[in-house]
Amino acid sequence: MGSPFTAANTGITKSTAQYSTQPTTLGMFQASGASAVGTHYCGDWMVETQRLDLTYERVPTYVKENNQTSASLSGAQFYHRVMNTKLDTNIVASYRREKVDGCFTTSGSFTIPQTFQINAVSADHNGLIYGSDSEWNTSCLGPMGSINTITEWYFRRPWEAGDTTASYSINGFNLYGYVSSCPQAAPEAANIDPWFGNFVRTPQPGEVLSPLHFPNDPFINLTWSTYWIPGPYSYVKENNNNLITYIQQAGDSVTDTWVYDNPTEIGLVGNTPWPVPSLGFSEYSTNRHLYLF
């Protein structure tokens, strides 16, 4: 996990001036014909911001119960038990470090932590719900929804010799798809859009010849523990600790460059061609997150 950008404050004193001002956000004042007179610290500043936005859908993993089957020459029926559920996730993240020429009310460093808003949906894409109204609460992510940065992380300090500017952004996934004609053949990347949140791609990701696997379907794999819940899903199985862990894991995947493009990049794992994560940047840090739920 990456650490915050914490270049030491050198104690540089900015030039000061007296202005008639109106206060604005982030401790900055701008001339407006105004009502207050205050001290301003003007000059060049290093300003960092970051954000993270997640869109998710919960999907099941099935296991076939061999003792719950029936078959004839005209057809077959198989019973599949839900072994667990987990979240397919689209991860969008950005980071900026820039040089800002401005006047502020603080002479040293200034920080605003990153906060999030949960936009959870209580029903899945088929309209099914998984508990009572009383069980649906603020700890629930539900079958699908989004988690959005509502306040970006913001850090400001005086600009120092050697400081640089930077800008990064990604849009990727915690899963990848590929097709392969046989286990010995090199995989080819597949578009996962039709499979994101798709219940029918299970029982196991890409399990060939399973009742829910169709010829020429891509293999779909999740790559990191995505809020796994054992057994069938219900609202009462969710809690705040797991919710926060899920957001932290998503942020860490950005820091560790462990997010997959779509279609994914095919690289080498040892000497074997295989889908590899290629998106992320070390400048992102989950140490900047503040959770208010």
Residue 18 located in a structural domain: no
Residue 188 has a pLDDT of 84
Strand partners, 20: 37
Residue 16: predicted pLDDT: 34
Asked if residue 58 is part of any domain, the answer here is yes
Number of C-beta neighbours around residue 137 at 10 A = 14
Per-residue pLDDT at 178: 80
> One digit per residue, pLDDT tens: the chain, 293 residues?
333 222 222 333 333 333 333 333 454 433 322 223 367 899 999 999 999 999 999 998 887 777 767 888 888 777 778 888 999 999 999 999 999 999 999 999 999 999 999 999 999 999 999 999 999 999 999 999 999 999 999 999 999 999 999 999 999 999 888 877 665 677 888 888 888 998 876 545 444 444 445 556 667 776 766 899 999 999 999 999 999 999 999 999 999 999 999 999 999 888 888 889 999 999 999 999 999 87
pLDDT at position 92 is 98
Residue 74: its pLDDT value, please?
A: 87
User: Three-class SS string for the chain?
Assistant: CCCCCCCCCCCCCCEEEEEEEEECHHHEEEECCCCEEEEEEEEEEEEEEEEEEEEEEEEEEEEEEEEEEEEECCEEEEEEEEEEEEEEEEEEEEEEEEEEEEEECCCCCEEECEEEEEEEECECCCCCECCCHHHCCCCCCCCEEEEEEEECEEEEEECCCCCCCEEEEEEEECEEEEECCCCCCCCEECCCCCCCCCHHHCCCCCCCCCCCCCCCCCEEEECCCCCCEECCCCHHHCCHHHHHHHHHHHHHHHHCCCEECCCCEEEEECCEEEEECCECCCCCCHHHECCCC
Predicted local confidence at residue 13, as pLDDT: 33
pLDDT of residue 8: 29
Task: Give the per-residue pLDDT at 183.
Answer: 59
Strand pairing category for 115-121 and 144-151: antiparallel
Give the pair of three-digit tokens for residue 122: 């209580």
Q: Do the domain assignments include residue 218? A: yes
Side chain identity at 81, as an amino acid letter? R
Domain count for the chain: 1
- Per-residue confidence (pLDDT) for residue 195, from 0 to 100: 83
Cα 99 to Cα 44: distance, rounded to the nearest angstrom? 6
192 occurs within a structural domain: yes
pLDDT at site 161: 96
Residue 32 placed within a domain: no
| Dist CA 151 CA 135 (whole Å) | 28
160 falls within a domain: no
Q: What is the rounded CA–CA span in Å between residue 156 and residue 170?
A: 23
Q: In this structure, is residue 24 part of a structural domain? A: no
Contact 77, 239 (CB under 8 A): no
The CB-based long-range contact list for 276-282 (8 Å cut-off, 24+ gap) reads 277/223, 277/253, 279/170, 279/171, 279/172, 279/254, 280/93, 280/170, 280/253, 280/254, 280/255, 280/256, 281/93, 281/95, 281/168, 281/170, 281/254, 281/255, 281/257, 282/2, 282/255, 282/257
Asked whether residue 65 is assigned to any structural domain, the reply reads yes
Note the pTM of the prediction, 2 decimals: 0.83
pLDDT reported for residue 9: 29
What is the span of the domain harbouring residue 222? 51-94+116-150+171-284
pLDDT given at position 177: 82
